[in-house]
Chain A
Amino acid sequence: MIPASLRTLLAASVLALSCGAALAAGPASPDLGKLLATGGVSQVEGAGGGGLTPWALITGYGSRDSYGGNVHATAIRTQDHALYTYGFAMGLADRVEVSLARQSFRGDGGALDGLRIGQDIAGIKLKLAGDAVLEQDSLLPQIAVGVMAKRNTGVSGLGAVGNVKQLGAASDHGVDVYLSATKILLDRSLLLNGTLRATRANQMGLLGFGGERGNHYQPMLEASAAYLFSSSVVAGVEYRMKPRNLAVDNEKDYYDAFIAWFPSKHLSVTAAWVALGDITVLNPTRQKGFYLSLQAGF
C-alpha cells in the first residue's frame, strides 16, 4: 500500500519522466554519455550523491541529451542496529533527478532489540547552475535544489508503540528541502560538496518529524570531501549535521569515511565506516559500524 503523499510524488515523477523523454531530442536508448563516476553513488535516502548526503550531481550516465537510471541496495550495520535501504532513481537530461527509496531500520541487540521502523522517501532534484566536471576554469560549483518527501511507515517490536508520534514526534511524515553545491577540482583530483538542508526529521525521519524540543525547520550543514584516486576509485569523508527535536533522543551528527569503486558505468560498490552517534536515550552506545552499497544501472 503506497501512502497518499508518495502516490502524488510518484505520479509527478512519472509525469516528469514522460515529459523528459518526450522533450529529449536525443536517442531512444540511454547514451551513457557522462564520464565514469560523475553521477555519484546512491546516498542513504535514495538521492544521487555520496553515502550520507545528496550532491548536486544528477544520478545516472545520461548526458544532457538523454537519460539514465539505476537501482541500489545499501546495508549499514552498527553494534545494535541495522539500516537497509533500497530504491531506484532516474536522471533526465542531466538536469532532473527523481528517486524512490525504502528504509528499514532495526534494533538487533541492546535495549531496542527487535525494533523495526520503516520509512519511504520520494525525492526530486533539479540542477540549477554550473557543471562540476567541465567548468574547471571557474569557481562556480554545480548547484542543485532538492526535495525529499518522507513518510514513516510505522514502528513494531517496541511494545504498544506503533507510531513514531508515540515516541514524541510531532508528525510521522515530513519534507526536507536542500541546496547542494558540488565542485570537482580536477587539477587537485578533489571533489568537494556542501549541502544545506532544511529539515524537521529525527534520525532522517526514522523517528518522525519534530518533537518536544523543537518542531520547526532548521538548517543543517552536510559536507563531503573526496580524492579521485583514479577514474574509477574515489575515497573521502562526509559529515552530516542533525537536529535534536526529541526528548527521547540526544541525536548526534553522522560521520563516515568511504571508498567507492566504479568498475563500469553499470555498477558501483561503496564501502564505508560510519559513526551515527547514540540512538535514543535507551541505548547510550555510540553506534559505529560498516556501510556497504551497490548501485546498478546506466
Chain B
Amino acid sequence: MPAFRFLIAILLAAASLQVHAADDSLYNELGGSAGIRRVVADLVPALQADARINATFDGVDMERLAAKLEEQFCEVSGGPCKYSGKDMTTIHEDLKVSRAQFNALVEDLQAAMRRNDVPSRTQNRLLARLAPMHREVVTK
C-alpha cells in the first residue's frame, strides 16, 4: 500500500536525521561555531598568501567565501547549519584545480587548525569528511 510505504520512508528519513543530529561530536571538538569561525578567519588570508593556489581566488569575494566555508565545515561536522552556497562541482568546474593544489589547501587548513590548537585527531576527523570532495574540486 502506498500509504504504508510512505510512512516507512518518513520513519527512515527521521531515523537518519536523528543519527546526524545526535552526532555533533566533531562540531563540538572543533569548538562549535566560534571555533570554526576562528579557523576559517585564519585560513582565508593564508589561502590568499599561498602562491600555489592564490591565483584561483582572484576576483573571489573572500568574505562570502569565509561565510560559506564556515557553513560547510559546520554542516559536515554535524553542526546545526545548512550549506547554502553553490554545489562544489559548479564552483570548481572551470578552475582546473590540480591534485597538488587541492593538497595545498588541505595543508593551509591543517596549519590554520594547528594555530588554533585543534587536536590532531580532530583535524583528521574533519579532513576525513572533506577528502571525498576532491572528486568535485580537482578538475585538472
List residues of chain A with CB under 8 Å of any chain B CB.
Answer: 26, 31-36, 63-66, 94, 133-137, 185-187, 189, 228-231
Contact = CB atoms under 8 A, between A and B. Distances in A.
Interface of B: 98-101, 103-104, 106-107, 110, 120-121, 123-125, 127-129, 131-132, 134, 140
B86 to A, nearest CB: 21
Secondary structure call for the B interface: helix
B131 A66 contact: no
B128 A136 contact: yes
A185 B124 CA distance: 9
Contacts of A189: 120-121, 124
Contact of A33 (B99, B127, B128): B99
A35 B132 contact: no
Given A134-B134, A189-B121, A34 B103 contact: yes
Nearest to B100: A33
Given A186-B124, A189-B120, A231-B110, A65 B98 contact: yes
Given A186-B128, A187-B124, 12 more contacts: A33-B99, A33-B100, A33-B104, A34-B100, A34-B103, A63-B103, A133-B131, A134-B132, A137-B131, A228-B120, A229-B120, A231-B123
Counting from the closest, the 9 A-B pairs by CB-CB distance are A33-B100, A186-B128, A187-B128, A63-B100, A136-B131, A137-B132, A136-B128, A230-B120, A186-B124
Given A33-B99, A33-B100, A189-B121, A136 B129 contact: yes
Contacts of B128: 136, 185-187
Secondary structure call for the A interface: loop
B107 A186 contact: no
Nearest to A35: B103
A48 B140 CA distance: 26
A135 B132 contact: yes
A33 B140 CA distance: 14
A36 B106 CA distance: 11
Contacts of A230: 120
A31 B53 CA distance: 13
Contacts of A229: 120
A277 to B, nearest CB: 35
* Interface hub of A64, A134, A185 (most chain B Cβ within 10 A): A134
